[in-house]
Amino acid sequence: MKATMFADGGSRGNPGPAASGAVLFDESGELLAEVGTYLGVATNNVAEWTGLVTGLEAALELGVDDLAVRLDSELVVKQISGAYRVKHEGLIPLHAKAKVLLRKFARVDVQHVRRKENAAADALVNQVLDANR
Protein backbone atom coordinates (compact mmCIF):
# COMPACT_ATOMS: atom_id res chain seq x y z
CA MET A 1 0.00 0.00 0.00
CA LYS A 2 1.17 3.50 -0.82
CA ALA A 3 0.70 6.42 1.60
CA THR A 4 1.89 9.88 2.52
CA MET A 5 2.78 10.77 6.09
CA PHE A 6 3.03 14.28 7.48
CA ALA A 7 4.79 14.43 10.85
CA ASP A 8 5.53 17.25 13.26
CA GLY A 9 6.47 18.00 16.81
CA GLY A 10 6.52 21.04 18.99
CA SER A 11 7.15 22.35 22.46
CA ARG A 12 5.89 25.41 24.25
CA GLY A 13 9.21 26.57 25.54
CA ASN A 14 12.38 24.73 24.59
CA PRO A 15 12.33 22.57 26.58
CA GLY A 16 8.72 22.78 27.64
CA PRO A 17 5.43 20.92 27.36
CA ALA A 18 5.83 18.95 24.14
CA ALA A 19 3.83 16.81 21.75
CA SER A 20 4.28 15.02 18.46
CA GLY A 21 1.89 14.10 15.71
CA ALA A 22 1.71 12.19 12.47
CA VAL A 23 -1.09 12.04 9.93
CA LEU A 24 -1.25 9.39 7.21
CA PHE A 25 -3.19 9.64 3.96
CA ASP A 26 -3.76 7.08 1.22
CA GLU A 27 -3.16 7.79 -2.48
CA SER A 28 -6.59 9.37 -2.90
CA GLY A 29 -6.06 11.73 0.04
CA GLU A 30 -8.30 9.82 2.46
CA LEU A 31 -7.22 9.87 6.09
CA LEU A 32 -5.73 6.54 7.19
CA ALA A 33 -4.56 7.42 10.70
CA GLU A 34 -3.68 10.18 13.15
CA VAL A 35 -1.19 9.55 15.93
CA GLY A 36 -0.69 12.25 18.55
CA THR A 37 1.49 11.83 21.62
CA TYR A 38 1.97 14.07 24.65
CA LEU A 39 5.62 13.92 25.70
CA GLY A 40 5.66 15.94 28.92
CA VAL A 41 8.63 18.29 29.08
CA ALA A 42 10.89 17.84 26.07
CA THR A 43 12.72 19.85 23.42
CA ASN A 44 11.27 20.73 20.06
CA ASN A 45 13.77 18.44 18.34
CA VAL A 46 12.81 15.45 20.51
CA ALA A 47 9.17 16.16 19.63
CA GLU A 48 9.95 16.36 15.89
CA TRP A 49 11.84 13.05 15.96
CA THR A 50 9.13 11.37 18.03
CA GLY A 51 6.51 12.45 15.48
CA LEU A 52 8.54 10.80 12.75
CA VAL A 53 9.05 7.56 14.70
CA THR A 54 5.40 7.18 15.79
CA GLY A 55 4.24 7.94 12.26
CA LEU A 56 6.56 5.31 10.79
CA GLU A 57 5.29 2.76 13.32
CA ALA A 58 1.67 3.57 12.43
CA ALA A 59 2.40 3.25 8.70
CA LEU A 60 3.97 -0.17 9.20
CA GLU A 61 1.00 -1.32 11.31
CA LEU A 62 -1.31 -0.30 8.46
CA GLY A 63 0.70 -2.36 5.97
CA VAL A 64 2.18 0.59 4.09
CA ASP A 65 5.21 -0.42 2.05
CA ASP A 66 5.63 2.68 -0.16
CA LEU A 67 5.77 5.80 2.01
CA ALA A 68 6.25 9.48 1.24
CA VAL A 69 7.38 11.24 4.43
CA ARG A 70 6.89 14.99 4.64
CA LEU A 71 8.41 17.00 7.49
CA ASP A 72 8.69 20.72 8.12
CA SER A 73 11.85 20.18 10.18
CA GLU A 74 14.77 20.71 7.84
CA LEU A 75 17.08 19.53 10.62
CA VAL A 76 15.39 16.12 10.88
CA VAL A 77 15.36 15.70 7.10
CA LYS A 78 19.09 16.50 6.87
CA GLN A 79 19.88 14.21 9.82
CA ILE A 80 17.91 11.33 8.26
CA SER A 81 19.72 11.79 4.94
CA GLY A 82 23.11 11.85 6.66
CA ALA A 83 23.87 15.43 5.62
CA TYR A 84 23.99 16.40 9.32
CA ARG A 85 25.23 14.25 12.19
CA VAL A 86 23.04 13.56 15.21
CA LYS A 87 25.08 14.69 18.21
CA HIS A 88 22.50 15.38 20.94
CA GLU A 89 22.28 12.41 23.30
CA GLY A 90 18.48 12.65 23.51
CA LEU A 91 18.14 12.37 19.74
CA ILE A 92 20.56 9.50 19.10
CA PRO A 93 18.12 6.71 20.12
CA LEU A 94 15.26 8.31 18.18
CA HIS A 95 17.48 8.62 15.10
CA ALA A 96 18.56 4.98 15.42
CA LYS A 97 14.97 3.80 15.78
CA ALA A 98 13.83 5.86 12.79
CA LYS A 99 16.62 4.42 10.63
CA VAL A 100 15.57 0.85 11.57
CA LEU A 101 11.93 1.61 10.80
CA LEU A 102 12.73 3.30 7.47
CA ARG A 103 14.54 0.15 6.30
CA LYS A 104 11.31 -1.85 6.72
CA PHE A 105 9.62 -0.06 3.80
CA ALA A 106 10.09 -1.25 0.22
CA ARG A 107 10.23 2.39 -0.84
CA VAL A 108 10.46 5.56 1.22
CA ASP A 109 10.92 9.18 0.19
CA VAL A 110 11.68 11.75 2.90
CA GLN A 111 11.35 15.41 1.97
CA HIS A 112 11.21 18.78 3.66
CA VAL A 113 8.02 20.81 3.16
CA ARG A 114 7.00 24.27 4.26
CA ARG A 115 5.07 24.53 7.50
CA LYS A 116 1.81 25.41 5.71
CA GLU A 117 2.05 22.14 3.75
CA ASN A 118 2.34 20.30 7.07
CA ALA A 119 -0.81 21.88 8.52
CA ALA A 120 -2.58 18.60 9.43
CA ALA A 121 0.30 17.33 11.58
CA ASP A 122 0.88 20.78 13.09
CA ALA A 123 -2.80 21.04 14.04
CA LEU A 124 -2.66 17.60 15.68
CA VAL A 125 0.39 18.61 17.74
CA ASN A 126 -1.41 21.75 18.96
CA GLN A 127 -4.57 19.76 19.72
CA VAL A 128 -2.57 17.33 21.89
CA LEU A 129 -0.76 20.21 23.64
CA ASP A 130 -4.04 22.04 24.33
CA ALA A 131 -5.64 18.86 25.71
CA ASN A 132 -2.76 18.44 28.19
CA ARG A 133 -2.60 21.95 29.63
Q: Residue 38's CB: how many other CB atoms inside 10 A?
A: 15
Instruction: State residue 112's pLDDT score.
Output: 98
The shares of helix, strand and coil residues in the chain, as percent rounded to the nearest 5, are: 40, 35, 25
Mean per-residue pLDDT, 19-33: 98
Domains within the chain, CATH numbers bracketed: 2-131 (3.30.420.10)
Mean per-residue pLDDT, 60-66: 98
pLDDT, tens digit, 9 for 90 and up, residues 31-45: 999 999 999 999 999
Instruction: State residue 32's pLDDT score.
Output: 98
Is 101 in a helix, a strand, or coil?
helix
Instruction: State residue 3's pLDDT score.
Output: 98
Instruction: State residue 113's pLDDT score.
Output: 98
Instruction: State residue 128's pLDDT score.
Output: 98
Sign of the torsion angle spanned by Cα atoms 44, 91, 70, 23: negative
Instruction: State residue 1's pLDDT score.
Output: 96
pLDDT, tens digit, 9 for 90 and up, residues 77-132: 999 999 999 999 999 999 999 999 999 999 999 999 999 999 999 999 999 999 99
